[in-house]
Amino acid sequence: MMIPLAVPNLTGREKEYLNNCIDTTYVSSVGEYVTRLENMVAEETESRYAVATSSGTTGLHAMLTAVGVKAGELVIVPTFTFIASANAVAHCGATPWLMDISTDDWCMDVSIVRRELERNCTVQGSRVIHNATGRRVAAIMPVYTLGNIPDMEAFRAIAAEYHLPLVVDAACAIGATHRGENFGRLADASVISFNGNKTITCGGGGMVVGNDEELMSRIRHLTTTARVGAEYDFDIVGFNYRMTNIQAAVGCAQMERLKEFVDRKREIRRFYASGLGNLKDAGISFFPETSGSSCWFSGIVLQKDRSLEDVRRLSAKLREQGIESRTFWKPVHLQKPYGDAPHSLTGVAESLWDRIVTLPCSTGITDEELKCVVTIVREEIVGGR
Ligand SMILES: *Cc1c(COP(=O)(O)O)cnc(C)c1O
């Protein structure tokens, strides 16, 4: 018996809603659950509009396309993220400009973004040009790492000053708030993922949320093949990025339990921080939690002199004792497809990522299992010294 890292919790009305899809034959990209899920997510994120998509990645691609990201341009993104953030930029024919992160929240460091725009870019009319490459900077896209929301007021101020769209990869952040505010007003648009390891899952799926009517209707148009009217007329090159009613049926049942799930995620993080708190003496630290964080994943960061080999060794030992754990995101600038992408690094992501150990954090984990993880991790780390 393994205690898994992060598995879906499907003990609500998922089966009932899925059966309803089959019984009514509404299994495809039209159906009551798609609309219902959009309404639920819009309400939850305090956003006026929500557009369901086939995945988080396709939602990101549609959102970036809709704010005008074009081939040959640059999009400012953090290097410490899941590779899909960079891939969505590349799908537009653009290139990610990779920025380092802050140690406080593991999100893109707003002071680096400001400094880079000031020092290494030129404003030509309404265009921001990156001096070294001559490319236009087309957008800023922070990532809500672990469900931590960074200083969005500061990002909004920079975006306004440079007339750049501010969009967010909020893939793992459903349930997070920032100074009492939800996603709606924090950026021009944000994308949530419903992949299997996220807090809320549809099996796979995504959702773009935002308040700008024109932008959000462009996103809906793009994701639904850009059809105009009831016949076979299309006005731009669109995408088939629709969510199916089957995916949405699962999502609706999941959303009914959002508060319970996020509460549990936060409890799990606190449980590890208190249960393993004494490991701080050994130089171990914990995943950062901003106020309002949705605490998507939890785990520990090994001592400064440790590396990936130590993470792998610890994971192997935990596995022997029935506990699944893993490494975490490898920075984008170290990935093969993005080795040549422009980057502005301070060393934070590089010195952090290879010491991260994610620990079991499924919403269905029991207190007994959490205690078991704490006991065994402590034994392995203290005993292994
Ligand atoms: C999960 C995730 C994605 C990708 O979402 P998919 O639904 O799997 O396409 C993108 N960015 C981040 C930060 C993620 O955690």
Q: Is the dihedral of CA 248, 250, 251, 256 positive or negative?
A: positive
Q: Which amino acid residue places its CA nearest to atom 14 of ligand 1?
A: 171
Using the atom order of ligand 1, give the atom closest to the CA of residue 60. Answer: 10
Q: Residue 27: name the closest of 35, 19, 37, 15 by CA.
A: 19
Distance of CA 313 from the midpoint of ligand 1 (Å): 27
CA distances from 81 to 57, 69, 121 (A): 13, 20, 24
Using the atom order of ligand 1, give the atom closest to the CA of residue 197. Answer: 1
Token pair, residue 22, equals 């089959």
Using the atom order of ligand 1, give the atom closest to the CA of residue 59. Answer: 9
Q: Which residues are bridge partners to 121 per DSSP? A: 130
Residue 368 in 3-state DSSP?
A: helix
pLDDT in tens, the chain (385 residues): 899 999 999 999 999 999 999 999 999 988 999 999 999 999 999 999 999 999 999 999 999 999 999 999 999 999 999 999 999 999 999 999 999 999 999 999 999 999 999 999 999 999 999 999 999 999 999 999 999 999 999 999 999 999 999 999 999 999 999 999 999 999 999 999 999 999 999 999 999 999 999 999 999 999 999 999 999 999 999 999 999 999 999 999 999 999 999 999 999 999 999 999 889 888 999 999 999 999 999 999 999 999 999 999 999 999 999 999 999 999 999 999 999 999 999 999 999 999 999 999 999 999 999 999 999 999 999 875 4
Q: Residue 216: name the closest of 339, 86, 66, 115 by CA.
A: 66
| Half-sphere CA count of 246, side-chain side, radius 13 A | 8
Cβ of 123: how many Cβ atoms within 10 Å? 13
Main-chain dihedrals φ then ψ at residue 82, nearest 5 degrees: -70, 145
Q: Which amino acid residue places its CA nearest to atom 2 of ligand 1?
A: 171
pTM of the predicted model over 0.95: yes
pLDDT at 385 (0 to 100): 47
State the pairing for strand pair 74-78/135-140.
parallel
State the pairing for strand pair 285-286/298-301.
antiparallel
Give the mutation target among 53, 57, 63 for probing the ligand 1 site: most ligand atoms within 8 A of CB.
Answer: 57
In the block, tokens 């019984």 appear at 23
pLDDT at 30 (0 to 100): 85
Q: Residue 206: name the closest of 173, 167, 238 by CA.
A: 173
Residue 310 in 3-state DSSP?
A: helix
Residue type for 214, please? E
Distance of CA 18 from the midpoint of ligand 1 (Å): 24
Give the mutation target among 41, 82, 167, 194 for probing the ligand 1 site: most ligand atoms within 8 A of CB.
Answer: 82
Give the mutation target among 172, 294, 297, 328 for probing the ligand 1 site: most ligand atoms within 8 A of CB.
Answer: 172
d(CA 95, CA 87): 9
Using the atom order of ligand 1, give the atom closest to the CA of residue 56. Answer: 7
Residue type for 249, please? A
Token pair, residue 132, equals 């070294």
d(CA 247, CA 243): 7
Distance of CA 148 from the midpoint of ligand 1 (Å): 15
Enumerate residues lining ligand 1, CB below 6 A: 55-57, 81-82, 84-85, 143, 169, 171-172, 193, 195, 206
Distance of CA 198 from the midpoint of ligand 1 (Å): 8
Concatenating the DSSP letter of every residue in 351-363 gives HHGGGEEEE---T
The answer to whether 33 and 249 are in contact (CB under 8 A) is yes
Q: Is the dihedral of CA 71, 77, 81, 85 positive or negative?
A: negative
Q: Provide the residue count of the chain.
A: 385
State the pairing for strand pair 127-130/356-359.
unpaired
Using the atom order of ligand 1, give the atom closest to the CA of residue 195. Answer: 7
Distance of CA 349 from the midpoint of ligand 1 (Å): 19
| Half-sphere CA count of 149, side-chain side, radius 13 A | 27
d(CA 211, CA 45): 10
